[in-house]
Structure formats: C-alpha cells, structure tokens
Chains A and B, each alone.
Chain A
Amino acid sequence: MRSLSSYPANSGTSKCKQKEDEAIDLHLFSQFLITGIIMGVLYCLMSMGINFIYGIMKVINWSMGEFFMIGAFTQYILLTFLLGADYWYVGVILSALVVFILGALVQRILIKPMFVGIIEAKMEYATIVTISMAIFLRNIAVAIGGPKIYTPPDYAGPTQILTLPLSGNRLVAFIGALILLGLFYYFIKKSWTGRAFQGVAQNRSGVQTAGVNVLKYDMLAFGIGTALAGAGGALLAPIFLVHPLCGLVPTVRGFEIIVIAGLGSIPGILVAGLSLGIAESLGSAFISPSFVDIYGFILLVIILSIKPYGLFGKPEREV
C-alpha cells in the first residue's frame, strides 16, 4: 500500500563513500520529510471529519473508513464509466456529494433516534451501530466488488520540487486536501451555518433557544463529516488504490491523530497529523519498514503519558 516511501535507505557505509552518502541521506531525508508532510495533511482530512461529527453530536463515527471506501469506489466508477480520466476533479466533487447524501441518510435513520429520546445508553448505541454499519458496508463492498484491487487512472504525471522527484498523484492529493481543509475552515468560521455549528458544538440546548434546529444541523454535520472522508477517498484513490479495505489505514491514522490532538481541537489536528505523517515516513525510511504502523502509535503513547487528554484537549466533564 505504502510502496515507494517504505524502502530502507542507506546501505553502504565504507569510508571513502561517506561524504557522498551524507549528501544522499540529506536528499532522502528531505524527500521522506515531504512525503510525510503530504501524508500528514491527508490524514488530517480524515480526522477532521471524525472530529467534526464528534464535536457536534458527541458520537464517534466508526464507519468513517467505509465512507472513505465508498468515495473511492464512486470515484473509480465515475472515472472509468462516465467522466474519463481528465475530469477527475469533477469526480472528486461528485463522489463527495454522493457520500454526503449517504451520510445524511444514515444519520437520519440510525443516529437521530439517539437525540429524540428513544435510546438510553447513548455512547454504547452509537458505537455498536456504527461498528456494525462499518462491517456491513465493508462486506457488501466485498460481495459486489470482489476481492480485487482496482486502479483508477493517474491524476497527474510525476513532477519535481526543485531537485526532488515527487509522485504527481501525491502532490495533487496534497493540494486538494489543503483546499478542502481551507474551505472547511472558512465555512466553519465565517458562514452563518458554520457559526450555528459552533454554537451546537458549544451548547446544544442553548443554541436551541436561539432558534437553531439542532436535529437538522446534526444531519448536515454527519453528511459534511462523511463527505470529507469521501472526498479524501476520491483524492487518494490512485495512491491507496480502490478495494474494500482501503479506508482502514487512513481511519486508524485519523483516530490516532484525534487521540494525540485531543478530541475537539482543530489546530491540534493539524499539528498531530503532520507530526504523525513525518514520524511514520522517517521511521519507515531510516529504521525499518516492518514497524511502519508502530511509529505513530509510539508517538501516541508518549504524548498520552505526558498529556492524558492529548496536546490540545481539555478534560471533559460528564454529568
């Protein structure tokens, strides 16, 4: 899955070659650093969706990876059967839209009963239902798509930043993710709907007295959160490829980022996402690629043992 970035660098260490090796090391180092930053931003997109849904509804959506997968599949189908490889950016928008509608429907049918007084144990209900939904969607994808890995057409050819070669797909995904994150931030901070979302995140009943239909905003929030994952899936389709389990790695990273950053903090997510991406990329390049998943987890363990609520999180009061 993470093919190019996970080769061990640095093999020869004879003395006459040492100077050359140092130069190569620096070169490789900066290349893996850039890869790490790119992957970090993409993971941010994923965890932003999870965090947004948590902020509004206090529900963790465990089926985020499956919405990512649906986004990737939609993109693949759109590109191969309808749009053609040149219009991939239209495909990204359309697949985000499809996932938005699906997410809003799921919220309407399954998550909404939590807030209208039918369900007693809320966290338990949300966890079990969304986990079941994840397995449900995943196995439906296996049943329909088969155990195959689909490869969508490349978005862009290989490019260079100064002297560093770089996969065009990664660059495109990076820029796309930055645009999406920027739009999302602008939407939350500036628009009226975004301000209403901030209000709902702060105090549900308070904002209700101010005339905000909280249930409608829940549905919108779930749709937007899953649409971020779906757009991520569509953007990352040529890198992670399209198969029923392709959402797994980004979701694990998304959850790790949330724990590192602390639930409900937007700047924290950027910091945590970047540091996770860099730790992973450098670790797999310079230590050993077998442990690629462990570096992020070690980072998580270190941060949790220093700050139990994450870098930017605050202790939450449950009453």
Chain B
Amino acid sequence: MKIFNLKNIGLLVLLIVAVFLPVVISDYWRFVLTIAFFYTIMAASWNLLGGYTGQFSLGHHTFAMIGAYTSTLLMQKAGAPFWVSIPAGILLTMIISSLLGVMCLRIHGIYLALITWAFAEVVRNYFRLHYAFTGGDRGIDSPLIFGTMKPTPYYYLFLGIAVLAIVLIAVIMRSKIGYYLRSIRDDPIAARSMGVDIVRYKIFVFMVASGLAGMAGVFYGHSIGLISPVMGDFNEMAMIIIFVVIGGMRTQAGPIVGAISVRYLMELLRAQSEFRIVILTAIVILIMRFFNGGLMELFRRLKKWIRRDREGPVSAYQELEQKQG
C-alpha cells in the first residue's frame, strides 16, 4: 500500500490549507470556522456511535454540556487550574456515559434513544433550575484558556483537536474493533453468535464518542467564555444529526463536509434565524426520503459518472460482454 496515494496527498493539501487559512480570512470567519470545527468533532463522534454502530444516542450534546460545566464549575467554585479541570471534565463525561451505557445498552436499541433523550432534558433542566450553583438560564462565565478573545489561537486549538478526533475515529474504524462495531449495527444476533461481545463494544464506543463530545464541550466552554443551558437544547442534537445526514451517514468524510458546509450555509442565512433550521430540517427529511446518503453519496456518484469510461470490467463475463459491444 502506497502512503503517498492521491487520497492522502489530497488530505495533506486540505490540512495545509486549513493551517494557513487564518492568514487570509477575517477574525469573524476564523470564529465561524472555530465553531464549525467544534461541530465537526460532535458530528464525527456521533457518526461513530449512531452511524457505524447503530446506537442512536440523543444525548450527545448533553455530554458536551456536562464537560463544559464540570470544567468551568471546578475552576469557578474550587479554584482548580486548567490542567486539572479539563481532564476532569472529559473523565466525568466518560464515567457518566459508561454508567448510562451499562444501564441501557444491554437491551434493544430503541431504549438507548429513549433514555438518552430523557437524560438530556433532565440534565438541561437541572442546570436551568439550580441557579444558585450553575447560574441558571443566565449561564456562567468560563475562564478563557488563552486569556484573550482573539479567535486565532482558538482556531488552531479546535483544528488540532478536530484532527485528533477524526484520526482517532479513523483508527478505530480500521482496527478489528471497527469491524465489530459494523457487525453490531448490521446484525447484533449474528455478531454475538460469531463471538463478538456486543454489550462490551457498545459500551466502549458509547464511552469513546461521549468522551470526544465531552472534550469538544470542555474546550468550547473555555474558548467562548460563557456557557449556558442553551448548549443542552435539543436543537443542538438536531443540528448534529442534520450535519451527519446532509454530509452522509456512515462515511468518514461526511460529518466533516456536512458540518463545515452547513455552518457556512447558516452564516449566509443569518438574517432568517428560525427559517434556516426549518429549511435544514426539510432538507434532511427530503434526503432521508428520496436520496439516502447525503453529499458524500452525491460525490461518489459524480466520481463514478466522470470515471465511467475508465472503469475496468468486474468479471470475465462482463469483459466478454464488453468485447462483443
């Protein structure tokens, strides 16, 4: 296998473009891209969980919120430094997610969605109502990790952790575990009869995905400077699903393409704040109904259409058929 094939060179070029992009764009667009990277991590980790493994967690945004609040509250109330509070936030999301996973991943898939949804609303309402501790709807000030409001350092921070998360997910999907996860999605009973410990791997993937979401949330809080229960609003979860479905479910690049392009579209439609979500959800319904696969499927078909005449025969029979015309 060649390391310098066309695909890897393309990825490298994209990375270099992303690294040097802040030189040419304004502060505003740097900030927009920072937020887009945050959503990229969320979408990619949810794709690992909901797309590849088929475990529909509807509390993914809540784990980001828990991470952000844990880290901020540790700093504000207990005076912990960054190097304690950030790992603590990530660790706590992983612990909570594994406990939830132990509870509801033993049973039928739909229960996970029901329970995580209830969990998300419960946690959000807790943060709203217990205002003496969490600041309520007004939110809570989160210390900035670089001590500045300038978006450039946060851009590189989020680019870094987004690349890290995507590489981690790619490694998982290419390892033996990746095949286990796909088999769990396609047929849990067959997977179990082939010796895959499905509950263990479900909990593992739930923990990894939620931990990634928690990590994204922790850094999000420390780079925005203010966290509030809006982070736990169900609209956020819907946005994650929108990114993944529009980009293309069960593809590695789908969530990335989806998150960045949809965030860009949302910036263009800034004036119509409610209608942009109405339009996006309508697009999602149409994609699910008529064109399963999203943007990546579109690219694949386009590539196939361009390469049509260069495609070699699949079987000897086909070759014979082609020769005969």
Binding site for B on A (CB under 8 A): 60, 62, 110, 113, 119-121, 123-125, 127-129, 131-136, 139-140, 142-143, 248, 252, 255-256, 258-259, 263, 289-294, 296-297, 300-301, 304-305, 308-309, 315-316, 318-319
* B289: A residues at CB distance < 8 A: 110, 113, 129
7 tightest CB-CB pairs across the interface, nearest first? Answer: A136-B281, A143-B274, A290-B130, A293-B125, A132-B281, A135-B238, A252-B121
Residue contact B122 to A133, C-beta cutoff 8 Å: no
Give the distance to chain B from A169, nearest Cβ to Cβ, in Å: 23
Q: Known contacts A143-B274, A259-B118, A297-B119; decide if A125 and B107 are in contact (CB<8 Å).
A: no
Residue contact A132 to B109, C-beta cutoff 8 Å: no
The CA of A106 and the CA of B107, in the complex, are separated in Å by: 30
* B117: A residues at CB distance < 8 A: 62, 252, 255
Residue contact A139 to B281, C-beta cutoff 8 Å: yes
* A304: B residues at CB distance < 8 A: 103-104, 115
Q: List 15 A-B contacts (CB under 8 A).
A: A60-B113, A110-B289, A131-B238, A131-B241, A132-B241, A132-B242, A132-B285, A133-B285, A134-B238, A139-B274, A252-B122, A255-B114, A293-B129, A297-B122, A308-B106
Identify the closest chain B residue to A305 (Cβ).
Answer: B103
Identify the closest chain B residue to A135 (Cβ).
Answer: B238
Q: Mark B82-126, 1 if CB is under 8 A from A, else 0.
A: 000000000000000000000110111111011101110110011
Residue of B111, B114, B188, B235 near A318 (CB, 8 A) is B188
Binding site for A on B (CB under 8 A): 50, 54, 56, 58, 103-104, 106-111, 113-115, 117-119, 121-122, 125-126, 129-130, 188-189, 234-235, 237-238, 241-242, 245, 249, 274-275, 277-278, 281-282, 284-285, 288-289, 292
The CA of A304 and the CA of B111, in the complex, are separated in Å by: 11
The CA of A288 and the CA of B310, in the complex, are separated in Å by: 70
Identify the closest chain B residue to A58 (Cβ).
Answer: B110
The CA of A301 and the CA of B125, in the complex, are separated in Å by: 17
Give the distance to chain A from B134, nearest Cβ to Cβ, in Å: 9
Give the distance to chain B from A66, nearest Cβ to Cβ, in Å: 11
Residue contact B292 to A120, C-beta cutoff 8 Å: yes
Give the distance to chain B from A315, nearest Cβ to Cβ, in Å: 8
* A142: B residues at CB distance < 8 A: 274
Give the distance to chain A from B108, nearest Cβ to Cβ, in Å: 5
Residue of A133, A135, A291, A308 near B130 (CB, 8 A) is A291
The CA of A62 and the CA of B289, in the complex, are separated in Å by: 17
Residue of B50, B108, B130, B285 near A129 (CB, 8 A) is B285
The CA of A129 and the CA of B289, in the complex, are separated in Å by: 8
* A300: B residues at CB distance < 8 A: 115, 118
Q: Known contacts A60-B114, A258-B114, A292-B125; decide if A124 and B56 are in contact (CB<8 Å).
A: yes
Give the distance to chain B from A291, nearest Cβ to Cβ, in Å: 7
Residue contact B277 to A135, C-beta cutoff 8 Å: yes
Residue contact A133 to B103, C-beta cutoff 8 Å: no
Q: Known contacts A132-B238, A132-B285, A248-B121; decide if A291 and B277 are in contact (CB<8 Å).
A: no
Residue of B54, B110, B125, B288 near A128 (CB, 8 A) is B288
Identify the closest chain A residue to B282 (Cβ).
Answer: A136
The CA of A140 and the CA of B276, in the complex, are separated in Å by: 10
The CA of A134 and the CA of B114, in the complex, are separated in Å by: 15
* A297: B residues at CB distance < 8 A: 118-119, 122
Residue contact A139 to B278, C-beta cutoff 8 Å: yes
Q: Known contacts A139-B274, A139-B281; decide if A316 and B108 are in contact (CB<8 Å).
A: yes
Identify the closest chain B residue to A1 (Cβ).
Answer: B125
Extra contacts besides A132-B288, A139-B277, A290-B129 (16): CB < 8 Å: A124-B50, A131-B237, A131-B241, A132-B241, A135-B277, A248-B121, A248-B234, A252-B122, A255-B114, A259-B114, A259-B115, A291-B129, A294-B122, A294-B126, A308-B107, A318-B189
The CA of A131 and the CA of B275, in the complex, are separated in Å by: 17
Give the distance to chain A from B51, nearest Cβ to Cβ, in Å: 9
* A120: B residues at CB distance < 8 A: 292
* A143: B residues at CB distance < 8 A: 274-275, 278
Give the distance to chain B from A250, nearest Cβ to Cβ, in Å: 11
* A132: B residues at CB distance < 8 A: 238, 241-242, 281-282, 284-285, 288
Question: Which of A136, A296, A305, A308 has the most C-beta atoms of chain B within 10 angstroms of its own C-beta?
Answer: A136
The CA of A120 and the CA of B285, in the complex, are separated in Å by: 15
The CA of A222 and the CA of B189, in the complex, are separated in Å by: 30
Give the distance to chain A from B104, nearest Cβ to Cβ, in Å: 7
Give the distance to chain A from B317, nearest Cβ to Cβ, in Å: 28
Residue contact A127 to B278, C-beta cutoff 8 Å: no
Residue contact A291 to B126, C-beta cutoff 8 Å: yes
Identify the closest chain A residue to B50 (Cβ).
Answer: A124
* B284: A residues at CB distance < 8 A: 128-129, 132
The CA of A256 and the CA of B125, in the complex, are separated in Å by: 15
Residue contact B56 to A127, C-beta cutoff 8 Å: yes
Identify the closest chain B residue to A253 (Cβ).
Answer: B118
The CA of A35 and the CA of B289, in the complex, are separated in Å by: 43
The CA of A140 and the CA of B274, in the complex, are separated in Å by: 7
The CA of A318 and the CA of B115, in the complex, are separated in Å by: 20
* B277: A residues at CB distance < 8 A: 135-136, 139
The CA of A294 and the CA of B118, in the complex, are separated in Å by: 10
Residue contact A133 to B281, C-beta cutoff 8 Å: yes
* B285: A residues at CB distance < 8 A: 110, 129, 132-133, 136
* A308: B residues at CB distance < 8 A: 106-107
Give the distance to chain B from A68, nearest Cβ to Cβ, in Å: 14
The CA of A38 and the CA of B106, in the complex, are separated in Å by: 33
Identify the closest chain B residue to A141 (Cβ).
Answer: B274
